[in-house]
A and B are shown apart, each in its own frame.
Chain A
Amino acid sequence: MIRSICKGISLGLLLLGWLSFWGCGESRQPFVGTYKSTEPIANKGYIELVLRDNGEADWNWVDENRSVKLKWRVQDGRVWLYFKEGIILIGTPTEQGKYLAVDISGEWHEGCPVDKCFNFVREK
């Protein structure tokens, strides 16, 4: 019985290690910062996107004084933005993260579709 328990614990630890391995994402560090849309959106001013190191972020309509909290992570060199409604926006960084093209279709595309793309430039 003790052997069975030890076997179970060992397997459990192995699984935990494996789960931790899968749970680890890519480093957020290169993309941490404040981004601003390159042009006003729909006559309602600029959007500011603040990406923090702890995985939290803000999506601010600066002139409208409206802010939305979100989470973010990096996968395959792209920035994945998670909103509480369940929608995912994928941003493609260019020029070492100076620019961020956010696909607002909510779907996955190789790049950022021209008609569904918000372009951001890094400010800080």
Chain B
Amino acid sequence: MASSEQPANPGQADPGGSPQACPISLNICEIGVERTFAKGTVIVRQGDLPDNFYVIIKGRVKVFRLSPEGIRTDLTELGEGAYFGELAIVTGQPRTASVEASEDTVLMEISKEEFEKLLDDNPPLARQIIKQLTEWLVGADHRLEKETVHQARIREVSWFDFVLIGGLSIIFALIFNFYNDNQIPLIQGWGRVGTIKEIALTEALAKYNAGELIVIDARKDPFFQQRHIKGAENFQVVFFDLMAPMFQFRLEQRQATPETPILVYGGTLSRRFDLDLAHALKDLGYENVMVLAGDYTAWEKAFPLVEKPPKPPMPMHFGIPGLLEWIPVSIFVLILIPPVRRSPYLAIFCRILLGVIFIQFALSKIMRPAVFALNVVEYQMMPAWGVNLWALVLPWGELVAGLFLILGIRTRTAAIFIGGMNVIFIVGLVNAILNQYPINCGCVGEVGEPVNWWKVTKNAGMLLMAVQIYFYDRLFVLDRGGFVWRERKI
């Protein structure tokens, strides 16, 4: 930075605050005019041509620079006896910083011509200027180095950051689940006593054709309506506790005895539905309950089916959270404008918006993990051991990453976390759409949220926002000051 307005304080000020505050030995106050500036007045404006040199007689001034984007950087504050404006006169360059009175201030103003004459006649003053210039250059080098280190630290992404966000999410999830009234087991069905008999597909088909088998579909009603084995009953396992007497009544209607062979089918990758229902029926006294061996989807190809077009859930209105989800789509327009695309202010906007959306996502799931776990099962991409763990930890990951984005802590890592979640959501949504699963998105609300391409677009918009934050976020980063652990080697 050129330094025509760089501060100077030769250390010869009179602390009394009178006109004697001038550096007397340099003989500069004998030729100036005293002027008073009210608090807030801009005395010297960045970019103006230099015309005067100033010595502070009384009061204080603030020296600052404005970047082309309008970002203000306060350089220093000067008090009585300090002077400024001499270097711009010496170099003939426009002012490179502005000076503003931070309180009512009295200055000695010396014109450019008078100052130049004074400089010619006053070698101690010339030496003083050279000394100041040298000190500023050295100081500027130090500041540049410090800022470079800061920028490097802000842009650094370390493994520790991932461990921090991931670890916090896991710890919060486990502690909260421990004390939560609606707690769920970490692994569904873990430690369950007893096994369920498995039956080969061909054998099951032979019994079915001979009319010796009661077939029960354990999935939720929309799946059953979409496709089921002809003649099958639908006992939704998630309704079992609630409707057990009704299910029992329907089995009684089919003259089922404890020895009657019952085939339960309709599992997912997590085998949650068929195995859970089989165990529940066994507990009810039906001893001859079976599930299909091997591929849990094989029944679709082997048995005669009743099929209907898929019926997605009815959409409900989500109010503000639903509206917030629309905004990420605007990012597709904004990134077409290069200066906007690279703007750190856009990064702040993206941080706040993504933070709010993800906190909202989290809050809709944290209190009732069982509802979200059921959603996870329905996406049919998670093995049994992972369903509940995912349902517990993911919302806390959303909450922690969302808070980090808003507070400006580890924003690049938080953006990677949120971007990663968006990728997972997009894969899940596309898989559900292509397979025509009649399921709820589980994104904003608990029910009434069909999976569709619009949801994919919104998630893609959020992914793009995370990428923008990763590359261009640099303002209002809270951990720049160092109160969060950041002792890392660059």
Return the chain B residue nearest A68 by Cβ: B241
A: which residues have CB within 8 A of B? Answer: 1, 3-5, 7-8, 11-12, 15, 19, 22-23, 41-45, 59, 61, 64, 66, 68, 71, 82-88, 90, 104-110
Total contacts A-B at CB 8 Å: 109
B: which residues have CB within 8 A of A? Answer: 181-182, 184, 220-222, 236-246, 248-250, 313-314, 316, 359-360, 363, 368, 370-375, 403, 406-407, 440, 446-448, 478, 480-483
Q: How far is the CB of B443 from chain A (nearest CB, A)?
A: 14
Q: How far is the CB of A29 from chain B (nearest CB, A)?
A: 20
Return 21 A-B CB contacts under 8 Å, by A number.
A1-B483, A4-B480, A7-B478, A11-B478, A41-B245, A42-B246, A42-B250, A44-B248, A59-B242, A68-B242, A71-B182, A83-B370, A84-B370, A85-B237, A85-B240, A85-B370, A86-B368, A86-B370, A86-B375, A107-B313, A108-B448
Question: CA of A35 to CA of B447 in the docked complex: distance in angstroms?
Answer: 24
Return the chain B residue nearest A107 by Cβ: B313
A8 touches B446 (CB 8 A): no
B249 touches A42 (CB 8 A): yes
Q: Name which of A61, A71, A87 has the most chain B CB atoms within 10 A of its CB.
A: A87
B contact residues around A83 at 8 Å (CB) = 238, 241-242, 370
Known A4-B483, A82-B368, A106-B238: A87·B478 in contact at CB below 8 Å: no
- Point out the residue from A8, A43, A66, A82 that lies within 8 Å of B478, measured CB to CB: A8
Question: CA of A87 to CA of B480 in the docked complex: distance in angstroms?
Answer: 45
Return the chain B residue nearest A85 by Cβ: B238
The main secondary structure of chain B at its interface with chain A is helix
A84 touches B242 (CB 8 A): no
B407 touches A12 (CB 8 A): yes
Question: CA of A100 to CA of B19 in the docked complex: distance in angstroms?
Answer: 86
A64 touches B245 (CB 8 A): yes
Return the chain A residue nearest B445 by Cβ: A108
Question: CA of A71 to CA of B481 in the docked complex: distance in angstroms?
Answer: 45
Q: How far is the CB of A1 from chain B (nearest CB, A)?
A: 5
B447 touches A8 (CB 8 A): no
Q: How far is the CB of A36 from chain B (nearest CB, A)?
A: 15
Q: How far is the CB of B247 from chain A (nearest CB, A)?
A: 9
A1 touches B239 (CB 8 A): no
B446 touches A107 (CB 8 A): no
A86 touches B373 (CB 8 A): yes
B360 touches A87 (CB 8 A): no
- Point out the residue from B237, B245, B314 that lies within 8 Å of A44, measured CB to CB: B245
